[in-house]
Amino acid sequence: MSNVLITGASSGIGYDMAEIFAEKKYDLVLVSRSLAKLEKIKGKLEKEHGVKVLCFSADLSVENSAEKVLYFTEKNNIDIDILVNNAGVGLYGEHIELNNDEVSKMLRLNIVSLTALSNYYGKKMKEKGSGKILNVASMAAYQPTPYFAAYGASKSFVLNFSEGLAKELEDYNVTVTCLSPGPTDTAFFSAMDEKGSGTSHFDPGSRAASKKVAEIGVNALFKNKLSVMVGGLNKLRAFSARFAPRKMVAAISKKIMKGHAAGN
């Protein structure tokens, strides 16, 4: 039996990926802050799919939390065959109005922990001569995103880091795939609202189904793809942004992002 470690598995895309891997009979290590939610998911997946699920509560926005995840899997003698770095949050609003501590936590979660986990488990996969990593970025990675500036930039990091790492690890039979969802129907938006970002008008009607996005990511992982985007219109936008002048792209992005805010 092979083992998959998924961060941010307590809801949304991470939860749906956990279900997909369980259907494929992978044993799972589920990580997020909420142990109660993870334990409930463990019960469901073990019962429905006969797989073994371990849960670990970690706040990946805290320094050295990735090390704690590594220690947990080592202590339990679990060899991770597939790492899914999915946990992430967004902060919406004018950057100068955001709370700096919240921004730092977001960057530690979206960037620092993902990078450290890729390092730890990537090294083990290299030694073993096989393994797979799936990192979740966003369509926000493909252009500057005013009012989502730090979040978008964190996802640009994930995209570029993943593609760079993929080329390093391909020599060791280890693949790295980057999934870039567009707006997806998960708790992502309500989590932002809890922090007072006022994103309730982020066009709920046009969000993709989380299960579909998870399937696209897992399929791309097994096809050893470097990168995958979700949605035809999103792909067109990302493609156009590569050829348009940067100042034009930033200006259009500002219009779109400002329009998403409540009351605009």
| Site residues, ligand NAP (CB under 6 A) | 7-14, 32-34, 37, 58-61, 86-90, 109, 136, 138, 181, 183-184, 186-188, 191
Q: Which of 172, 108, 167, 165 is nearest to 135 (CA)?
A: 165
Name the nearest CA neighbour of 231 among 162, 138, 132, 153: 138
In the complex, minimum distance from the CB of residue 177 to ligand NAP, in angstroms, rounded to a whole number: 14
CB of residue 260 to ligand NAP, shortest distance in Å = 11
Q: How many CB atoms lie within 10 A of CB 232?
A: 8
- Evaluate whether 180 touches 138 at the Cβ level (below 8 Å): yes
Smallest distance from ligand NAP to CB 29, Å: 13
Q: Give the nearer residue to ligand NAP in terms of CB position, either 34 or 173.
A: 34
- Beta carbon nearer to ligand NAP, 164 or 204: 204
The answer to whether 163 and 137 are in contact (CB under 8 A) is no
The smaller minimum CB distance to ligand NAP, of residues 7 and 197, is found at: 7
Distances from the Cα of 16 to the Cα of 41, 152, 185, 215, angstroms: 11, 23, 12, 8
- Cα–Cα distance measured from residue 47 to residue 262, given in angstroms and rounded to the nearest whole number: 42
Q: State which residue, 138 or 162, has the beta carbon closest to ligand NAP.
A: 138
Instruction: Compute the least distance from the CB of residue 32 to ligand NAP, in Å.
Output: 3
Report the C-alpha gap between 53 and 151 in whole angstroms.
31
Smaller CB distance to ligand NAP: residue 131 or 183? 183
To ligand NAP, the closest distance from the beta carbon of 100 in angstroms equals 16
